[in-house]
Amino acid sequence: MTDVSNTDWSAEHSANLYGIREWGGGYFDISEQGDAVVNAILGEKTVSVPLINIVNGMKERGLEMPAILRVENLLDHRIKALNEAFANAIEQGEYNNHYRGVFPIKVNQQCHVIEEIADFGQHYHHGFEAGSKAELIIALSQLRDHDSLIICNGYKDTEFVELGLYARQMGIPCFFVLETPAELPTIIECSRALGIEPLIGVRIKPSTVVDGHWNGDSGDRSIFGLSSNALLDVVEQLKLEDMLHCLQLLHCHLGSQLPNIRNIRSGVLEACRFYIGLINEGAPMGYLDLGGGLAVDYEGASSNSTHSMNYQVLEYCINIVETVRESLDPEGIDHPVIVTESGRATVAYSSLLLFNILDVRNHQPLPLPESLPVGSHELLSNLFAVPAILSLNNFQECYNDALYYRDEIRDLFRRGQASLRDRALADNITLAVLAGITALLPEVDRVPPEIEHLPELLADIYYGNFSLFQSLPDVWAIDQVFPVMPIHRLNEQPDRQAIIADITCDCDGKIDNFSSPDGQQKTLPLHSLNDSEDYILGVFLVGAYQETLGDLHNLFGDTNVVSVHIDGDDSFHFVREFHGDSIADVLSYVEYDPRTVQEKFRRVAEQAVRQGKISVATRQKMLNAFKESMRGYTYFEH
């Protein structure tokens, strides 16, 4: 940590410490007053709103922590940025066709998010990608104009195909992308039966293998897409049915969160060769869909590590546009409409998770006694001598001795030969030695590997009012790293190092890996709690994938959600408010009938009255408390 006295600490120091300007994409910063702010870019003007003001506004409206905050302006700005970057690349690159974005609904299916994308995206003819019937139904109900595409991926049954064909009949450019040749007969039959011609796309299996977590989506073993032979089989079938003219789109998805721009270029290059191949086979084509994969720099490191990216959005667009033009021009093939299915990069910024800290457990030793208490086990005297002699010259020896003697005492305790007080004292002396060594570490040139982990072992545990499994499932499932930091008190120097635990009773319910522009860190600098106010942390960039992947571990339900819109006069208003699940809600998800549950409790209470254990008045109080709880929030309430 930067060595400055607390009075010298400013918001500027916090900005560097947490890297907010590196991962914030210009949307987040820290005000001089020490509050994290969200920036809305409104034309020429940038309006900054402190997140803590929004939290206070939520509390006044009865929306307690934990909560998801969506900022509409950020979602709008991402759609605008992506579309304008492509428009820019197309103009600069003298490319003779346009760009059409589609939002993959699976990345965030929440109604408000989809409605906002449909509304704001209309201006750019931004469409949707649907991977299931349910998502197609969402897309059909939301789409505003017939220049926007609907791209249907995933396995399609008759009902799915019929819905898509009806969309065609209404003039919506709705593509069926074939994942396997087996889907083709269904499409051909339905189209014949309804007398509606389909728009067909083929998903290829790129052999380009990419960096990052999702490298299984590319390469020969990818579970998606047609092999080159299967592709030719599709072409033959379509020729036989006299339907080759329906084949107009090539689809290629290299995987999500592609950190390395060089992989993207190779993937596009390969897709172009397939595109040329299909033209040469006689398919008209016209659309090149390059899937998702545009990354988000969760670390702010601008690197090709899994949670980062070594390129900018405009660079991504220019790479695609140039590669397509340079591949097709020598073949004399017209430039296709470029389609991408960016999900993560479209929605990640617009949501953040906010929660309060309920409690802190620190691993600080208690003060040691002046001398060993009378009656202590004799072995304790060896251990007791260690803290006094600890120095830079012998810290490794002290480390070994302390652990050795501690383990001896623990052995004796197991055998009944040392008391609980002996054991507690041994643990505390050891902790004092470890804390002493940790304090020396900044002066040590080469820290031995076994000692390197001490700061993490001694870090505080901050208990947050949230469920990792409900609100940040990717942290648990795929070790996703999200930026986390306090949203206020940022002109005070953080005086603790901590990891964060959630309120499930699961040992996996913790965050102990933190993004930082200097690489990942095992602990997060935080402030000591004070009595006068709640300490609120924000987890940023959580708009993609987290909400619907979340589960009901320990029956913690959906959190409260608010959407705000920031206005030109520096104010903000609450566009939508949703109260999270009540306990009755989550019980019904696991097939309890809340009324039956209540009735069963009533019977238990009634019996207690009959047995004279409680009065009727007490019974009433209990039933009311029970009912009140059923209506209440599943999280910790004040």
Ligand X SMILES: *Cc1c(COP(=O)(O)O)cnc(C)c1O
- Smallest separation, CB 365 to ligand X (Å): 47
Tokens at 413, concatenated:
């305790």
DSSP designation for 146: T
Q: List C-alpha distances in Å: 436 to 296, 311, 388, 432, 439.
A: 40, 44, 10, 6, 5
Q: List C-alpha distances in Å: 613 to 472, 598, 604, 606, 616.
A: 45, 20, 11, 10, 10
Q: Which is nearer to ligand X, 402 or 542 (CB)?
A: 542
3-state DSSP of 24-83: CCCCEEECCCCCEEEEEEECCEEEEEEHHHHHHHHHHCCCCCCEEEEEHHHHHHHHHHHH
Q: Which is nearer to ligand X, 341 or 401 (CB)?
A: 341
Q: Which is nearer to ligand X, 84 or 567 (CB)?
A: 84
DSSP count for the chain of H helices, then E strands: 23, 21
Q: Which is nearer to ligand X, 73 or 108 (CB)?
A: 108
- Smallest separation, CB 198 to ligand X (Å): 19
Q: Which is nearer to ligand X, 18 or 298 (CB)?
A: 298
Cβ atoms 290, 338 nearer than 8 A = yes
Q: Which is nearer to ligand X, 50 or 292 (CB)?
A: 292
- Smallest separation, CB 203 to ligand X (Å): 8
- Smallest separation, CB 129 to ligand X (Å): 6
Q: Which is nearer to ligand X, 174 or 358 (CB)?
A: 174
Q: Which is nearer to ligand X, 349 or 395 (CB)?
A: 349
- Smallest separation, CB 109 to ligand X (Å): 12
Cβ atoms 297, 23 nearer than 8 A = yes
Among 381, 380, 387, which residue's Cα sits nearest to residue 431? 387
Q: For the CA atoms of the chain, what is the radius of gyration?
A: 30
Q: Go through the chain and tell me how many residues it has.
A: 638
- C-alpha–C-alpha distance, residues 218 and 211, integer Å: 10
> CB count, 10 Å around CB of 487?
24
- Smallest separation, CB 493 to ligand X (Å): 37
- Smallest separation, CB 255 to ligand X (Å): 7
- Smallest separation, CB 104 to ligand X (Å): 4
- C-alpha–C-alpha distance, residues 331 and 317, integer Å: 22
Among 352, 365, 532, 367, which residue's Cα sits nearest to residue 457? 365
- Smallest separation, CB 243 to ligand X (Å): 23
- Smallest separation, CB 549 to ligand X (Å): 12
- Smallest separation, CB 337 to ligand X (Å): 16
Q: Which is nearer to ligand X, 221 or 610 (CB)?
A: 221
Q: Which is nearer to ligand X, 181 or 292 (CB)?
A: 292
Q: Which is nearer to ligand X, 293 or 300 (CB)?
A: 293
Q: Which is nearer to ligand X, 48 or 207 (CB)?
A: 207
- Smallest separation, CB 332 to ligand X (Å): 30
Q: Which is nearer to ligand X, 213 or 335 (CB)?
A: 213
- Smallest separation, CB 193 to ligand X (Å): 28
- C-alpha–C-alpha distance, residues 215 and 219, integer Å: 8
DSSP designation for 331: G
Give the residue nearest to ligand X (CB).
292
- Smallest separation, CB 474 to ligand X (Å): 12
Q: Where are the beta strands (DSSP E) in 293-410?
A: 337-340, 351-361
- C-alpha–C-alpha distance, residues 200 and 156, integer Å: 13
- C-alpha–C-alpha distance, residues 466 and 96, integer Å: 50
DSSP designation for 485: E
Tokens at 313, concatenated:
């959005």
Q: Which is nearer to ligand X, 116 or 289 (CB)?
A: 289
Q: Which is nearer to ligand X, 292 or 464 (CB)?
A: 292
Q: Which is nearer to ligand X, 218 or 257 (CB)?
A: 257
Cβ atoms 46, 25 nearer than 8 A = no
CA 520 to chain centre: 16
- C-alpha–C-alpha distance, residues 587 and 591, integer Å: 7
Q: Which residues contact 398 (CB under 8 A, 6 or more apart)?
A: 386, 389, 390, 433, 436, 437
Among 325, 226, 239, which residue's Cα sits nearest to residue 284? 239
Tokens at 453, concatenated:
């982990």
> Strand 560-566 relative to strand 67-71: parallel, antiparallel, unpaired?
parallel
- C-alpha–C-alpha distance, residues 559 and 581, integer Å: 7
- C-alpha–C-alpha distance, residues 410 and 419, integer Å: 10
Q: Residue numbers of the site for ligand X (CB under 6 A)?
A: 104, 106-107, 129, 153, 253, 256-257, 291-294, 341-344, 544
What SS3 state is found at 309? Answer: coil
- C-alpha–C-alpha distance, residues 469 and 472, integer Å: 6
- Smallest separation, CB 486 to ligand X (Å): 28
What SS3 state is found at 118? Answer: helix
- C-alpha–C-alpha distance, residues 526 and 510, integer Å: 16
- Smallest separation, CB 70 to ligand X (Å): 17
